[in-house]
Every structure is written in structure tokens, then in C-alpha cells.
A = this chain, B = another copy of it.
């Protein structure tokens, strides 16, 4: 007999609504070297896979950091086969905090050119 209980779809996660996103959560998310590196990489190439950062830290830790980024409101993810593709929630963040992401990423990039 077919199982009829409704189960949550696998790999479906909670995302903060607009009113739950704060500048504090965003800045805290970006205050970690690993996570800022991830966000910079995503900003540069639209999407990225956690797998790309295995040289930085362990995969469990990457899961943790991507969770922090997701819960801050900064990123969203889609799953394709076994892979996860993460992207910035650009429109939302730019609408809520205009100039924040660009200003911050530019400032970080500029600070490295010395």
C-alpha cells in the first residue's frame, strides 16, 4: 500500500521574510572571513556550489556557514541533482538596504589593491 502521510519535501528550507531581515544579521553574517569570501565569490559569478569551498573548511562547516547566510536573508539556494547552487538575494537586499552590498564589496575589493 502506498504511504499517504504528507511529508516535507527534502532539502526545502526556511527563508526569512522581509520583515525578519535586519542589518545586524547581515553584518554579522558578513563579519566572518569564510562567509565574506563566499559572498564575494557569489557576487562575482552569480552562483556557486558549496563544493567549491572545500579547500577552505570542512563540508559540515560549510553547511553551517551557508545556513547562517541563508537565515540572514543574504542568499538563496536551489538543488539540481546532488548539487546545491547558491545565489544572492540581490533585488531584496538592494531594495531594503540600497547601496549596502555594492558599497561593501567595492570597499573590500579596493582594500586589497594596495
Residues of A within 8 A of B (CB): 23-25, 27-28, 30-33, 36, 96-100, 102-104, 106-108, 110-111
Contacts and interface: CB of A to CB of B under 8 A. Distances in A.
Q: At the interface, is chain A mostly helix, strand, loop or mixed?
A: helix
Contact of A23 (B24, B25, B28, B108): B108
A102 B104 CA distance: 10
Contact of A36 (B23, B106, B110): B23
Contacts of A27: 27-28, 30-31, 36
A100 B104 contact: yes
A36 to B, nearest CB: 7
A32 B27 CA distance: 9
Nearest to A30: B27
Nearest to A23: B108
A97 B27 CA distance: 15
A25 B111 CA distance: 14
A22 to B, nearest CB: 8
